[in-house]
Amino acid sequence: MTRAVRFGNIAEAERLARRKLPKAVWLAVKAGNEQGWTLDENLGAFNELGFSPRVFDRPTSFDLRTTVLGINVEFPVLVSPVGAQAIHPDGETGVARAAARAGTAMGLSSWASDSITDVARANPNTIFQLYWVGTKDQIESRVEAARAAGAKALIVTLDWSFTPRRDWGVPPSPPSNLDLKTMAVLAPHALSRPFWFGSYLLRGRIPELKVPNLFEADRTVPYFGKAWADFAATPPPTWQDIKWLRELWGGPFMVKGINTIRDAKLSIDLGADAISLSNHGGNNIDGSPSPLRYLPSVVEAVGDQVDIMVDGGIRRGSDVVKALALGAKAVFAGRALLYGLAAGGTEGAYQALDILKAGIRETLFGIGHGSIKELSPDDLMVLNRDFFVPPAC
């Protein structure tokens, strides 16, 4: 059993996670692509925006509610569909329970360690996120499995350019099976954190990287390495492919990974209900600016036609407020939840969400708003006059 852990902010959860996780696992969670410039940029961009605090006529109640992809949530933070949350025995199912308790939706990755069936059972407001892996028949089977499990919406993520080189010393993903050779390589990492490894053994399992939502044609569940090889071998989808996917699903649909006005407009043309501006949390092309910098331009171009979300660098409730003030409908939080999960399992993930929710209320109080719907760019001070960059059209 995981011992009860308390932390007062996401930075503290990050420090706890680093101490608890084996180095290889920690680097897989923390590292950005190549030198990590974009990872740092995602965090730093928020620090270039400030607020003008008010002291008169402050609110006494707060309305944080919003609706994303037809799902009503209690506050504008959704769990980002981050893969392989087997960093803790509770995994994605535990995070889903935490999100349900906090009153928000759970984004589930194709690369998740838990199945869509288990996760949707833990949180009825689960959104399934799809990568384009394998044949159309395989993709259709996975979409139908998500539908049968009760997924409320579908996300297709397109911002991955197969640039996995990292300057951080992150080890390669395990191969297609955990043979003796592989276990010999991984054992020192696991045994370096005996309490972490023991938490799995107490539940009668080991931390293996299988991906049940990328099941193969015969319904076998591949290991991460095999699924990755299939992903790399799959030709990237065309615009017509994504249009086919949107029509196949038929329900609320989001395109994630948008970085240009052109792609935002193309997403609307194929019928997307929402888009998410993202550089894959710093794990796509290193050198991509924070989506926060071009969020206002995309909002101006298409904000009246589609709901716009953003992710990357969310660590505080004030970060959420800044994104909403620039026009985002809500945000995805990824690493913040992973830090909480690693630090304290399901309870730690809930604490991370609760910290973000409290931070939103506190920031709204400080700038004199009782509702997130009252936010606008006028609530922000741009500390760097060159902060905003126009995205490619």
Catalytic positions, please? 280
Distances (CA, A) of 375 to 68, 101, 321, 363, 381: 17, 26, 8, 11, 13
Q: Which two tokens stand for residue 290?
A: 């924070």
CA distance 173 to 111: 12
CA distance 178 to 212: 16
CA distance 379 to 367: 7
Contact in structure between 131 and 231 (CB atoms under 8 Å)? yes
H/E element, 329: none
Instruction: Indicate the burial class of 310 (C-beta count within 10 angstroms; 0-12, 13-18, 19 or more).
Output: buried
CA distance 126 to 71: 9
Which residue's entry shows tokens 């869509």? 116
Q: Where are the alpha helices (DSSP H) in the chain?
A: 10-20, 23-30, 37-46, 91-102, 116-122, 136-149, 180-191, 194-201, 224-233, 239-249, 261-269, 291-302, 317-325, 335-367
Q: Read off the amino acid at residue 245.
A: L
- Look at phi and psi of residue 291 and say left if phi exceeds 0, alpha if psi is from -120 to 50, else beta: alpha
